[in-house]
Structure 1
Amino acid sequence: MTATATAQTYLRTPTATDDALSARFRSVFDEISAGNVERERQRTFPHEQVEWLKGAGLGRVRIPVEFGGFGASLQQTFALLADLAEADANVAHIWRNHLAFVEDRLNATAGPANDRWISRFLDGEFVGGGWTEANNGTFASLKSTVRRDGDGWVVNGAKFYATGSLYADWLDVLGKDDDGTPLTALVRRADPGVELVDDWTGFGQRTTASGTANYRDVPAADGDVFPATDRFVYQGHFYQTAMLSVLTGVTRAVLRDGTAAIRARGRNYPAALDPTPALDPQLLQIVGQLSAYAFSAGAALDRSSRTLDRVAEAHAAGDRDLPGERVLTAEVATAQAQLVIIDAALRATTEVFDALGASGVSDNLLLDRHWRNARTLSSHNPRVYKARILGDWIVNDKDPVPNLAALGRGGQGD
């Protein structure tokens, strides 16, 4: 399983086909979709559904075939995540931290410690976490610590937005050592001193376990601690694109559920152009517009995720010049995709109700979950700044890429 001496990372040219990936995961996604509404209604945590995906191998989808994975590209990985989000936006979002950490280890220098991580992924071990400081702390004022303790390390601190933590075997924690150097520590969820609190109060993404994680003298081994600045250069773009994948899936789910609802609708308003809702041209126009929102979201996701494959390709080849240029392209594409996909998701999740009348707000349909999920996801990394940054780059050549070495770059958003 160890990478060859000539290849410094575990990255390889993707080999998976879309058909093979669909054949492996489609039936699992369909099973997950079947219970989506009831889980949302009861706020039932999808532990079983996450286990199904572990068993199907979603956690190793990006690992090259020669190391035991499926060899998917980033474009294929994010397309799968969008398909999963169409089935259940909560379940898809739960996988964001795990897939990002797998990508980080694929980019890392090959060696015994990282070989162990590849083995853990192949065994189905799952990574959750949260970098964001609790109690309104910021990356610039980290209070969480990762300090030397004999032959190992000890972790203390409190985090929020710990997405996926309740489903995890490992937790990805950011803290500072005694010299103020930011470090990443992976700790076992089952270790003493780890406390996970289900206190996420958001009106959307309600079963993602995005609440508080407390760490009190939690041990971490040498091979599981490394400088935070060593994380892969497109990590921020990966986290953002994962969120955009979920929003793309939500937009498709709105089209699916809105279409089913209008077909089932029995009567129409007196002002309607046809007494049968499914034949009313104005209502059909709304559904057609929903399909355009889903199309634009999917196209933007596809285009932006391909730019990340280009960054990974340059890194795998050991090219010292191309990654910077390609990171710039990815930064622009990810920001543009964010503007397109968020707009599409919020419009679709609102306008669907224009085609359905009062029956569309029934708790039986629970269509409001789509808007709540879209609004919550869209709030993680506010789009309000993106158009300005893009305009400043286009007009004034202002570099849109933040300092990649800055603390927090590549965290769970931008």
Structure 2
Amino acid sequence: MSLSDPFVIGSGLPVPPPLWPRSTSTTRIENDADAIRVAQLLAAHLKQNAAAREQSDHFPLEELNQYSSSGLWGITVPRSHGGAGVSYATLGTVVQTIAAADGALAQIAQNHWAAVAVIASCGTENQKEELFGLILDGKRCGNAFSERGNKTLTDLKTQLVREGDHVIITGKKYYCTGALAADLVPIVAVDDQGLAWLAIADRNTEGLTVLNDWSAFGQRQTGSGTVLLENVKVPVTRVIPAWKSYLPDTPRPDSAISQFIQAAIDGGIAQGALDETVSFVKTRTRAWIDSHQDHAHEDPYTHHILGGLFARLSACRALLDVAGKTIDAALIHATPDTVAAAQIATAEAKIFTTELAIEATNRLFELAGTAATDTRYNLDRYWRNARTHTLHDPVRWKYAIVGDYYLNGAFPPLHAWS
């Protein structure tokens, strides 16, 4: 495979926008039950070649097209605008299901759903009508949010300047998951007062360049590389005041939504690793000599460890379900109290999913044995994916905000990482 191919992972080359319209039309999912059913069918398909795909050096464009055309990317569009308007508890189940099959593909959609949430909470009715219509037709949102080299995550240098009916944006973004194959690129930029706006540019806008330079050892196929912005023009009608979600007196649960999806991805990776552990122990692992058993799956110490891991997986699912319902409640009645409750419920879920994802992907090898390290199985992808994705924001701070909330009644900070 030649490095002249822009879709080779880590090539560093600019990637052309995806073709539109795509060869396959996008399904319209009607309700929560349909969303879960479609996710289960898609996950079963994606899992078949997941190990080989992750070892490939090529971005999984075909599988991504299957994923987005399934209709799952539009399930959080409100019913008032033609979507299924599924609950966030349902979205959590969908994300976990996909992530158990392929953690990288699951993450690519994360910022898309986060963008849908911002449009719903801060967009005008005209913006919702246009953008939700595009999304339901199958257009994918990427991400041009984070930057490198700044003092903190929220210390953004990318600015937007108003010029007539457009804004002009110049800057450099990194960790741009989904932008590589996006149709729309939501860009976070600040105005002259330091307020953050979400400008949603067409992927083929002049001056917008996506580089395939993501080179992490995990979540390799997310394409989370660089977006260059050189005097990019975005119509004012596509510029959304994202800062309004973080006003202390009138917050919205957008930060909880973003974190919730991240937690669900980690929960799914843990589930996938545990499923692989069970399969390998039952079919390939030898019994330990001192167990006096004929088969590894009869080892009582293996029973004990897996019992604890599966119990914690059930706890993760329950916590994600609670967090999803708490987010749903905050969307219906957004107040400082309900938004803080959603943030705390999400933080509690994220503590459990982060720690379980790392432990389950590590225990896989302890229980499956040396044979599981054979590269033909590519089982290390679970640990690499978990270790990489759980670095998205430090779980030690989740402990801190949860403790401060219950001890002192302190609300979590209002930003996209809390």
- For the aligned residue pairs, the C-alpha RMSD in angstroms reads 2.0
1:109 deviates by 5.2
Q: CA deviation at 1:196?
A: 1.2
Q: Report what 1:352 is aligned to.
A: 364
- Normalised by the length of structure 1, the TM-score is 0.88
**Structure 2: 5+ residue stretches without partners:** 1-29, 246-250
What's the counterpart of residue 412 of structure 2? 401
2:391 corresponding residue in structure 1: 379
2:157 is matched with 143
Output the CA distance in 1 between the equivalents of 2:375 and 2:314: 28
Which residue does the alignment assign to 1:49?
A: 63
Matches within 5 A, 1:150-299: 150-231=164-245, 233-265=252-284, 267-299=286-318
CA displacement, residues 104-140 of structure 1 (integer Å, 9 cap, x when unaligned): 2222455223211111111111111131123345455
C-alpha distance in 2, partners of 1:304/1:50? Answer: 27
Matched, 1:365 2:377: yes
Please give the secondary structure, in 2, of the residue aligned with 1:183. Answer: strand
User: What per-residue deviation string (whole Å, max 9, x for no partner) do you get for residues 346-376 of structure 1?
Assistant: 1111112221111121112222111111111
SS where residue 369 of structure 1 aligns?
helix
CA deviation string 1:156-187 (max 9, x = no partner): 10011101111201111112234444322111
SS in 1 for 2:315: helix
Amino acid at match of 1:39: R
Matching residue's letter, 1:365:
Y
- Kindly state the Cα deviation for residue 66 of structure 1 after the two structures are TM-superposed: 4.7
Alpha carbons 1:108, 1:114 under 8 Å: kept: no
Is the 1:165–1:196 contact (alpha carbons within 8 Å) kept by the matching residues of 2?
A: yes
The equivalences for 1:86-97 within 5 A come to: 86-97=100-111
On the 8 A contact 2:167/2:233 being kept in 1, the answer is yes
Greater CA deviation, 106-115 or 183-192? 106-115
Report the equivalent of 2:331: 312
2:365 counterpart letter in structure 1: F
Paired letter, 2:406 = I
Deviations 1:316-363 (A, max 9, x none): xxxxxxx22211211221121121221211111111222111112111
Change (3 A) 1:196 1:324: same
- Give the corresponding residue for 1:106: 120
Question: Counterparts of 1:110-125 in structure 2 under 5 Å?
Answer: 110-125=124-139
In 1: Cα distance, 2:154 partner to 2:85 partner:
37
Runs of 5+ consecutive residues of structure 1 not aligned to the other structure: 1-14, 316-322
Q: Shift of residue 289 of structure 1? A: 2.7
Q: Distance in 2 between matches of 1:80 and 1:111?
A: 28
SS in 1 for 2:186: strand
Q: In structure 2, what is the Cα distance between the partners aligned to 1:98 and 1:269?
A: 47
1:330 and 2:376 are equivalent in the alignment? no
Asked if the contact 1:296/1:341 (under 8 Å) is kept, the reply is no
In 2, the alpha carbon distance for the partners of 1:348 and 1:26 equals 22
Three-state SS of the structure 2 residue aligned to 1:292 is: helix
Question: Residue 217 of structure 1 aligns to a residue in which SS?
Answer: strand
> Could you tell me which amino acid in structure 2 is paired with residue 285 of structure 1?
H
How far the C-alpha of 1:285 sits from its partner, in A, is: 2.7
Code of the aligned partner of 1:304: A
CA contact (8 A) 1:47 1:167 kept: yes
Q: TM-score, normalised by structure 2?
A: 0.87
Structure-2 separation of matches of 1:137 and 1:220:
27
Residue 267 and residue 139 in structure 1: after superposition, are their counterparts in 2 closer, same or farther (change >3 A)? closer
Q: Could you tell me which residue of structure 1 aligns to residue 48 of structure 2?
A: 34
What secondary structure is seen at the aligned counterpart in 2 of 1:242? helix
Please give the secondary structure, in 2, of the residue aligned with 1:173.
strand
Q: Does structure 2 conserve the Cα–Cα contact (< 8 Å) formed by 1:132 and 1:138?
A: no
Mapped contact 1:300–1:341 kept (Cα < 8 A): no
2:354 pairs, out of 342, 364, 370, with 342
Percent identity over paired residues: 28
Change (3 A) 1:308 1:41: same
Distance in 2 of aligned mates of 1:273 and 1:313:
58
Q: Which residue of 2 aligns with 1:12?
A: none
Match of 1:4 in 2: none
